[in-house]
C-alpha cells in the first residue's frame, strides 16, 4: 500500500511538472508578445532602426521587438513569413531589389488608405523623388507599399592626389580616364598598390559593380517589352571596359565582396573603386583607415552616356499578414519624419530627405561632406530592373559575369549565355 | 445539496486523475512526438508533395500540380549538372585525402606514440570547432593580399596563389579546409579500430616471421575493414552535403567552380523561392546517397 502511494505521489509530481512547464511557456510567450515586431538586417541599417525603435518604445510606452538577421537570412525569413502569412513581423526593412518579389506576391500592405486616413495622398515632397519611386509597385507608377528609410546609391571613391599625379585633376570624368590612370598606378605599384579595386564575387556583388558601368555605356538589361537585351553593342562595350578594369585591379577580385574592396581602400592600397556611402565612415575613421581625409567622392564616371549609380535603398513595409497594421504605419511615419531621418543620419545611415541632405548642421561636419554628392548620385541613379524574379536573374547574370572576370569565358560568350539564361528564367 | 456538489467535484477530480494516470505514458511522450512530427515528418512529407508542384509564393496552398516537370528540369539544367559534378569532385578528393592521412596518422600513433595522449588531443582540435568558424579562419588565411598563407609563400620565394578567389584553386582551397577539419575524425575512428584489435594473431604472425606489410595486409586491414567502411560512409555522406565552407569561403564561385549541390539547393529554395524545384533536387540527392550507401555497405560486406 505504501509502495503504491509512493508511485502515485511520483506520478502526481510528473503531472504537476508537466502542467508547470506548460504554464511557464504560456506565460513567457504572453510576456514576450510585443506590440510591434520588426525584421531588420544586421549592420548599420538594422542597428539604426533598432535604436530608433528603442526611442519609440519609451515615447509611446509600448513594446517593440526587433528580429535582426544577416542579409540573405532576412530575405528568407521575411519571404517565408510572407508565403505562410504568419504575421510574425509587422514591419520588414527590405533591400530595394526585393520589393517586386514582396509586392507582387502580395506580402505587403498597400499604404493608400492609411495616408488617406491621415488626410494626405502619400508621403510629403521633402523625400527625394527617386527614393519615393522605389516605394511604389510598379516602379514610380503603382500604389505605395513602403517608405524609404536609408538612402543608398553608389558613388565613385578615388584618391585625388594619385589621380592628379597621373594627369587627371579634379573629378575623373570618364571611364577612359580611370582605366588610363589606374593602369599606370597599378603598373608602378609593383603588386602593392592598385589603381582600381573591383567587387567581383559571384552573384549580387559582381552585378552591383557592373551595372553602373553598363548604364554608362547605354546598356539596358531589359527592353521595353521586358525581354532580356544583352546582345547589343552597348553591352559589349561595357563588358570590355569592365574587363579592362579587372586587369588593373588586385589579383583575387573574383571573390571580393564589399569588405575586401573597403579594406583595400582603407589600407591605401587601391586608388579608386565604386562603393556605397556607408563606407565613408570607415574611411574617415583614424582607427580603421590610413586614408583619412584623402579620399574624394564623386558621381559615377561617364562612358558614352552620362554615368549613373545603382540605387540601393532600404525600405520599410508593413506585412499584409500583420495584426498591428495601424500601429506599424504610425511607427513608419514617425521613423521617416525629418527629425528621425536626421537622427538616423547621425547614426550613420544616409538620409532620404532633401531637408536632411542640405541641413547645414550636418553638411558642415567632416563625416557628412559627401552629402551633396550623394544626393546628386541618388537623383541621377538607376534602379535595378524591377522584376519579381530579380534574385534569380541577378544570380544567372552574376554567374556569367563571374566567368568572364575569371577568364573562363570571353565577353561575347558571357553575354550570350547570360541572355539565354535570363530568357529561360523570364519565360518559366 | 452542498455536500453533493462537493462530492461531484471530488469525483470529477478523481476521474481526471485516473485518466491522467492511465494515459501518463502517452502524455509524457506527446511533446517529443509532436516536435518530431513537426520538425521531421511534416517537412519530409511536404518535400515530396511540393516536388510535384509549381510552388506559388503568393499562395502556397494554390500551387499547381505539374507531375514530373521539376524532375525533367534536372536533365536540362546546366547549373545542376555543374553542381553535381563539383559535389562528386569535392567528395572524391576530400574523402580520399582525409582517409589516407587519417589512417596513416592512426597507424603511426598506434605503433609508436601510443601513450602520448597530448598529441591525440591536439590532433582532435579541428574536429571540435564549429565548421563555420573553421571556414572563417581559412578565409582569413587564404586572403590573397593580407592572408598569412600568401605571406609565407612570398617570404620563402614562392609565387602567391589566389586560393579561394582563383577559378583553378577555389575547389582546392575548400578541400584543404575540409581535410584539415575532418582528418581527425578518420584518425579517431581508425585509432579506435586499432586499439580494439586482438593481440594473439599478431603474436602468432610474429612467431611465423611475417613482415610488417604481410601483417598489415592479412591481419590489420581485415580487422579494420568494418570500421573503415563505416567511417568512409559517414564521411562521404557528410562531404556530399557540404555547405558551410562554400557559403563562407567562396559563395559557390568563382564562376560556379565550388557550387555544390547543397549550396545550389539553398539558392534555388531561399534566394529564388523556387521551392518545388529545390525539393526535386533534394529528392534526387537523397536517392543518390541511399543508393551509394547501400552499395558501399554491400560491397564491404557489413550490410547484415
Instruction: Say what the pTM is.
Output: 0.81
A94 and A102 in contact (C-beta within 8 Å)?
yes
Q: What is the ipTM of this complex?
A: 0.76
Judged by CB atoms closer than 8 Å, whether chains meet at A252 and B253 is answered as: no
Residue numbers in A near B144 (CB within 8 A):
250-252
Per-residue pLDDT of chain B (304 residues; tens, 9 = 90+): 556 777 788 888 889 989 998 999 999 999 999 999 999 999 999 999 999 999 888 888 888 899 999 999 999 898 999 999 999 999 999 999 999 999 998 888 877 766 667 777 888 889 889 989 999 999 999 988 789 999 999 999 988 888 888 888 999 999 999 999 999 999 989 988 988 888 899 899 989 988 889 988 999 988 898 898 889 999 999 999 999 999 999 888 788 889 999 999 999 998 889 999 999 999 999 999 999 888 888 887 654 4
Distance from CA of A345 to the nearest CA of B (A): 30
Distance from CA of B2 to the nearest CA of A (A): 28
Residue numbers in B near A392 (CB within 8 A):
271-272, 274
Q: What is the pLDDT of residues A101-143, one digit of tens each?
A: 999 999 999 999 999 999 999 999 999 999 999 999 999 999 9
B214 and B167 in contact (C-beta within 8 Å)?
no
Distance from CA of A391 to the nearest CA of B (A): 6
- Out of B79, B146, B255, the one facing A402 most closely (by C-beta) is B255
> Which grid coordinates belong to A206?
559582381
Residue numbers in A near B86 (CB within 8 A):
none
Single out the residue of B281, B276, B282, B283 nearest to residue B63, CA to CA. B276
Judged by CB atoms closer than 8 Å, whether chains meet at A399 and B251 is answered as: no
Interface of A with B (CB under 8 A): 8, 11-12, 14-15, 18, 72, 75-76, 79, 82-84, 101, 104-106, 200-203, 250-256, 260, 263-264, 269, 389, 391-392, 395, 399, 402-403, 405-409
The pLDDT score that the predictor gives to residue A312 is 92
Distance CA B218, CA A330 (A): 79
Single out the residue of A348, A297, A316, A278 nearest to residue A102, CA to CA. A316
Among B167, B254, B277, the residue to mutate for chain A (most A Cβ within 10 A): B254
Distance from CA of B166 to the nearest CA of A (A): 6
Distance CA A52, CA A340 (A): 8
Residue numbers in A near B251 (CB within 8 A):
201-203, 255
The pLDDT score that the predictor gives to residue B303 is 45
Among A13, A254, A416, the residue to mutate for chain B (most B Cβ within 10 A): A254
Judged by CB atoms closer than 8 Å, whether chains meet at B256 and A11 is answered as: no
Distance from CA of A427 to the nearest CA of B (A): 14
Averaged confidence pLDDT in chain A: 91
- Out of B17, B166, B254, the one facing A402 most closely (by C-beta) is B254
Residue numbers in A near B132 (CB within 8 A):
none
Distance CA B31, CA B50 (A): 27
A310 and A381 in contact (C-beta within 8 Å)?
yes
Distance CA B74, CA B79 (A): 9
Question: B255 to chain A: nearest residue by CA?
Answer: A403
Strand partners, A382: A310
Judged by CB atoms closer than 8 Å, whether chains meet at B21 and A391 is answered as: no
Judged by CB atoms closer than 8 Å, whether chains meet at A408 and B24 is answered as: no
Confidence of residue A303 (pLDDT cuts 50, 70, 90): very high
Judged by CB atoms closer than 8 Å, whether chains meet at A202 and B254 is answered as: yes
- Out of A75, A251, A255, the one facing B254 most closely (by C-beta) is A255
Distance CA B245, CA B255 (A): 17
Distance from CA of B62 to the nearest CA of A (A): 11
Judged by CB atoms closer than 8 Å, whether chains meet at A389 and B162 is answered as: no
Q: What is the pLDDT of residues A11-57, one digit of tens each?
A: 556 556 656 666 566 555 544 578 999 999 998 899 999 999 999 99
Distance from CA of B167 to the nearest CA of A (A): 6
Distance CA B123, CA B98 (A): 13
Counting residues of chain A whose pLDDT is more than 70, the rounded percentage is: 93
Question: B257 to chain A: nearest residue by CA?
Answer: A403
- Out of B146, B166, B274, the one facing A254 most closely (by C-beta) is B166
Strand partners, A38: A66, A91
Distance from CA of B259 to the nearest CA of A (A): 11
- Cα B206 to the chain's mean position, in Å? 40
The pLDDT score that the predictor gives to residue A26 is 56
A255 and B254 in contact (C-beta within 8 Å)?
yes
Give me the mean pLDDT over the A338-349 stretch.
94
Judged by CB atoms closer than 8 Å, whether chains meet at A75 and B252 is answered as: no
| A vs B: CB pairs below 8 A | 114
Give me the mean pLDDT over the A282-287 stretch.
89
Interface of B with A (CB under 8 A): 17, 20-21, 24, 27-28, 57-60, 79, 143-146, 160, 162-167, 170, 250-257, 267, 270-274
Task: Fill in the DSSP letter of residue A385.
Answer: P
Judged by CB atoms closer than 8 Å, whether chains meet at B254 and A201 is answered as: yes
Q: What is the pLDDT of residues A361-380, one digit of tens each?
A: 999 988 898 999 999 999 99
Amino acid at each position: 500500500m505504501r509502495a503504491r502511494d509512493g508511485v502515485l505521489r511520483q506520478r502526481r509530481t510528473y503531472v504537476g511538472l508537466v502542467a508547470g512547464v506548460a504554464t511557464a511557456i504560456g506565460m513567457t510567450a504572453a510576456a514576450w508578445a510585443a506590440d510591434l515586431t520588426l525584421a531588420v538586417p544586421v549592420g548599420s541599417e538594422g542597428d539604426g532602426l533598432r535604436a530608433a525603435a528603442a526611442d519609440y518604445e519609451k515615447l509611446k510606452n509600448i513594446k517593440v521587438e526587433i528580429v535582426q538577421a544577416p542579409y540573405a537570412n532576412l530575405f528568407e525569413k521575411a519571404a517565408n513569413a510572407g508565403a505562410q502569412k504568419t504575421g510574425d513581423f509587422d514591419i520588414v526593412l527590405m533591400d530595394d531589389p526585393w520589393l517586386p518579389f514582396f509586392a507582387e506576391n502580395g506580402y505587403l500592405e498597400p499604404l493608400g488608405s492609411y495616408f488617406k486616413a491621415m488626410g494626405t495622398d502619400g508621403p510629403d515632397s521633402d523625400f527625394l523623388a527617386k527614393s519615393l519611386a522605389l516605394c511604389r509597385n510598379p516602379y514610380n507608377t503603382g500604389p505605395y507599399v513602403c517608405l524609404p528609410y536609408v538612402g543608398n546609391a553608389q558613388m565613385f571613391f578615388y584618391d585625388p592626389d594619385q589621380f592628379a599625379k597621373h594627369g587627371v585633376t579634379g573629378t575623373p570624368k570618364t571611364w577612359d580616364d580611370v582605366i588610363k590612370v589606374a593602369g599606370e598606378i597599378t603598373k608602378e605599384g609593383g603588386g602593392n598598390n592598385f589603381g582600381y579595386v573591383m567587387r567581383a564575387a559571384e552573384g549580387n556583388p559582381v552585378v552591383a559593380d557592373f551595372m553602373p558601368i553598363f548604364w554608362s555605356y547605354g546598356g539596358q538589361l531589359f527592353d521595353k517589352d521586358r525581354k532580356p537585351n544583352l546582345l547589343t553593342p552597348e553591352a559589349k562595350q561595357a563588358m570590355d571596359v569592365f574587363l579592362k578594369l579587372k586587369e588593373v585591379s588586385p589579383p583575387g577580385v573574383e571573390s571580393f565582396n564589399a569588405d575586401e574592396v573597403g579594406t583595400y581602400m582603407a589600407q591605401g592600397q587601391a586608388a579608386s573603386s565604386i562603393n556605397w556611402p556607408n563606407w565613408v565612415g570607415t574611411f574617415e575613421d583614424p582607427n580603421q583607415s590610413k586614408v583619412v581625409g584623402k579620399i574624394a567622392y564623386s558621381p559615377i564616371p561617364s562612358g558614352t552616356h552620362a554615368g549613373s549609380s545603382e540605387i540601393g535603398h532600404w525600405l520599410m513595409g508593413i506585412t499584409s499578414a500583420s495584426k498591428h497594421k495601424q500601429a506599424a504605419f504610425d511607427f513608419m511615419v514617425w521613423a521617416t519624419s525629418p527629425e528621425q531621418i536626421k537622427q538616423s543620419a547621425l547614426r550613420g545611415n544616409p538620409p532620404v530627405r532633401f531637408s536632411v541632405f542640405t541641413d547645414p548642421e550636418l553638411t558642415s561636419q567632416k563625416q557628412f561632406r559627401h552629402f551633396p554628392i550623394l544626393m546628386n548620385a541618388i537623383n541621377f541613379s538607376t534602379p535595378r530592373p524591377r522584376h519579381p524574379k530579380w534574385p534569380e536573374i541577378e544570380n544567372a547574370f552574376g554567374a556569367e559575369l563571374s566567368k568572364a572576370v575569371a577568364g573562363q569565358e570571353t565577353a561575347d560568350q558571357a553575354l550570350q549565355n547570360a541572355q539565354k539564361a535570363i530568357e529561360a528564367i523570364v519565360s518559366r | 445539496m452542498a455536500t453533493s456538489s462537493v462530492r461531484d467535484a471530488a469525483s470529477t477530480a478523481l476521474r481526471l486523475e485516473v485518466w491522467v494516470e492511465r494515459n501518463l505514458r502517452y502524455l509524457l511522450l506527446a511533446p517529443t512526438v509532436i516536435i518530431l512530427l513537426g520538425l521531421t515528418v511534416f517537412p519530409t512529407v511536404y518535400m515530396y508533395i511540393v516536388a510535384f508542384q509549381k510552388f506559388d509564393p503568393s499562395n502556397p496552398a494554390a500551387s499547381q500540380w505539374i507531375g514530373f516537370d521539376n524532375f525533367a528540369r534536372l536533365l536540362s539544367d546546366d547549373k545542376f549538372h555543374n553542381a553535381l559534378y563539383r559535389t562528386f569532385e569535392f567528395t572524391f578528393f576530400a574523402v580520399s585525402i582525409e582517409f589516407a592521412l587519417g589512417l596513416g596518422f592512426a597507424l603511426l600513433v598506434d605503433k609508436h606514440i601510443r601513450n602520448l595522449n597530448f598529441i591525440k588531443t591536439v590532433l582532435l582540435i579541428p574536429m571540435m570547432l564549429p565548421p563555420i568558424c573553421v571556414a572563417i579562419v581559412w578565409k582569413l588565411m587564404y586572403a590573397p593580399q593580407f592572408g598569412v598563407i600568401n605571406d609565407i609563400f612570398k617570404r620563402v620565394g614562392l609565387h602567391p596563389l589566389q586560393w579561394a578567389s582563383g577559378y583553378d584553386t577555389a575547389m582546392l582551397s575548400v578541400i584543404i579546409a575540409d581535410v584539415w577539419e575532418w582528418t581527425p575524425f578518420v584518425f579517431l575512428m581508425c585509432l579506435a579500430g586499432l586499439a580494439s584489435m586482438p593481440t594473439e594473431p599478431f603474436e602468432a604472425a610474429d612467431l611465423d616471421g611475417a613482415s610488417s606489410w604481410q601483417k598489415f595486409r592479412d591481419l590489420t586491414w581485415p580487422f579494420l575493414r568494418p570500421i573503415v567502411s563505416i567511417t568512409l560512409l559517414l564521411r562521404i555522406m557528410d562531404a556530399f552535403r557540404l555547405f558551410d565552407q562554400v557559403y563562407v569561403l567562396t559563395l559557390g564561385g568563382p564562376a560556379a567552380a565550388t557550387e555544390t549541390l547543397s549550396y545550389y539547393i539553398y539558392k534555388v529554395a531561399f534566394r529564388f523561392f523556387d521551392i518545388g524545384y529545390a525539393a526535386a533536387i533534394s529528392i534526387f540527392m537523397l536517392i543518390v546517397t541511399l543508393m551509394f550507401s547501400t552499395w558501399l555497405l554491400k560491397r564491404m560486406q557489413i550490410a547484415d
